[in-house]
């Protein structure tokens, strides 16, 4: 039997809690979450994991947006001897808290594996939960692109979409549309339409594994960007992707098996 680590050992645990349903969390993530003295996260995500926590665990729920503040607070608490769980929805490493956390560590000049220990727990990203609902849409090469131009100039995002089109990647668009950003997805889809058949399957998966989940499969010609928002994952098939009833699948290659 392996010796269990002390639950109170100071550490910073960066935890991906998965897309929403707590059963889509890994066992390692759940146990790490329960081992922490303090749990920090965006208020909606804290609410999601609340049923897993005990009353002895301190909870710090913060509003959306201040990722850097949240990361700083977690780093400081861990440095002061606390075992801290910094939670993130989906996979902490994919469009989530790993990025801001490392910006904070870098600014503080942290080098390597100093104390307190940092451990990252991966989780199921929205892309994967959406793919599972759809069947096999990412069974071949794929890419993930965030359409938020808050930190990335639009020219770089557009170039990336052009690259995805040229490379015939299955494309997952994160953050497709918000109240302030209402034209980016239209533009991205227009680029893909120049390179892929009009009937290429496109899926809009909203609130995946959460209450009110919706899965809508349509085509590159018919998709309506106005039906998406920040809670929607948009998945565009490659040139070989096909529909099978309401499933969506991409062949493993270009060998002719499963080709149109």
Smallest distance from the beta carbon of 140 to a second copy, in angstroms? 7
What mask, x for binding a second copy by CB under 8 A, covers residues 87 to 126? ----xxxxxx-xxxxxx-xx---xxxxx---x-xxxxxx-
Determine if 12 is a binding residue for a second copy (CB under 8 A): no
Stretch that binds a second copy, among 43-51, 143-151, 178-186, 228-236 (CB under 8 A): 143-151
Q: Which is nearer to a second copy, 183 or 254 (CB)?
A: 254
Residue selected from 17, 74, 78, 138 as contacting a second copy according to rule CB under 8 A: 138
Of 68, 73, 125, 134, give the one whose Cα is nearest residue 95. Answer: 125
Stretch that binds a second copy, among 33-41, 73-81, 141-149, 177-185 (CB under 8 A): 141-149
Of 77, 74, 68, 73, give the one whose Cα is nearest residue 104. Answer: 68
d(CA 122, CA 18): 8
Q: What are phi and psi of 104, to 5 degrees?
A: -65, -45
In eight-state DSSP terms, residue 17 is -
Q: Which is nearer to a second copy, 9 or 114 (CB)?
A: 114
Determine if 180 is a binding residue for a second copy (CB under 8 A): no
Q: Which is nearer to a second copy, 80 or 152 (CB)?
A: 152
List of residues 6+ apart from 15 with CB closer than 8 A = 29, 32, 33, 85, 86, 87, 88, 92, 121, 123
Determine if 137 is a binding residue for a second copy (CB under 8 A): yes
Of 177, 171, 179, 181, give the one whose Cα is nearest residue 203. Answer: 171
Residue selected from 12, 13, 17, 25 as contacting a second copy according to rule CB under 8 A: 25
User: Count of residues binding a second copy (CB under 8 A)?
Assistant: 82
Smallest distance from the beta carbon of 172 to a second copy, in angstroms? 10
Residue selected from 24, 35, 175, 228 as contacting a second copy according to rule CB under 8 A: 24
Of 34-93, which residues contact a second copy (CB under 8 A)? 91-93
Residues 127, 131, 132, 133, Cα dihedral to 10°: 110
- Report long-range pairs for 75-82 (Cβ below 8 Å, ≥24 apart): 75/12, 75/101, 75/104, 75/105, 75/108, 77/38, 77/40, 78/10, 78/11, 78/12, 78/116, 78/118, 79/116, 81/10, 81/116, 82/10, 82/37, 82/38
Determine if 197 is a binding residue for a second copy (CB under 8 A): no
Q: Which is nearer to a second copy, 40 or 242 (CB)?
A: 242
Determine if 183 is a binding residue for a second copy (CB under 8 A): no
Of 214, 216, 184, give the one whose Cα is nearest residue 201. Answer: 216
Of 229-258, which residues contact a second copy (CB under 8 A)? 242, 244-247, 249-255, 257-258
Of 201-220, which residues contact a second copy (CB under 8 A)? none
């Amino acid at each position: 039997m392996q010796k269990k680590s002390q639950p109170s050992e100071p550490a910073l645990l960066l935890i991906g809690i998965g897309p929403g349903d707590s059963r889509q969390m890994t066992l390692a993530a759940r146990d790490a979450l329960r081992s922490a003295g303090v749990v920090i996260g965006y208020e909606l995500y804290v609410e999601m994991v609340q049923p897993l926590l005990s009353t002895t665990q301190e909870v710090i729920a913060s509003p959306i947006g201040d990722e850097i503040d949240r990361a700083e607070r977690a780093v400081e608490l861990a440095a002061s001897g606390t075992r801290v769980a910094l939670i993130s929805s989906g996979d902490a490493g994919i469009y989530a808290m790993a990025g801001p956390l490392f910006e904070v560590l870098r600014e503080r000049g942290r080098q390597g594996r100093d104390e307190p220990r940092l451990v990252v727990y991966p989780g199921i990203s929205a892309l994967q939960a959406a793919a599972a609902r759809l069947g096999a849409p990412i069974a071949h090469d794929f890419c993930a692109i965030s359409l938020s131009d808050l930190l990335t100039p639009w020219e770089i995002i557009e170039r990336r979409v052009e690259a995805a089109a040229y490379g015939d990647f299955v494309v997952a668009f994160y953050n497709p549309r918000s109240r302030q950003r209402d034209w980016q997805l239209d533009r991205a889809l227009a680029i893909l339409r120049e390179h892929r058949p009009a009937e290429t399957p496109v899926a809009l998966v909203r609130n995946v594994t959460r209450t009110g989940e919706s899965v809508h499969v349509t085509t590159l010609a018919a998709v309506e960007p106005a039906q998406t928002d920040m809670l929607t994952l948009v998945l565009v098939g490659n040139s070989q992707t096909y529909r099978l009833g309401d499933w969506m699948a991409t062949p493993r290659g270009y060998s002719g098996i499963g080709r149109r």
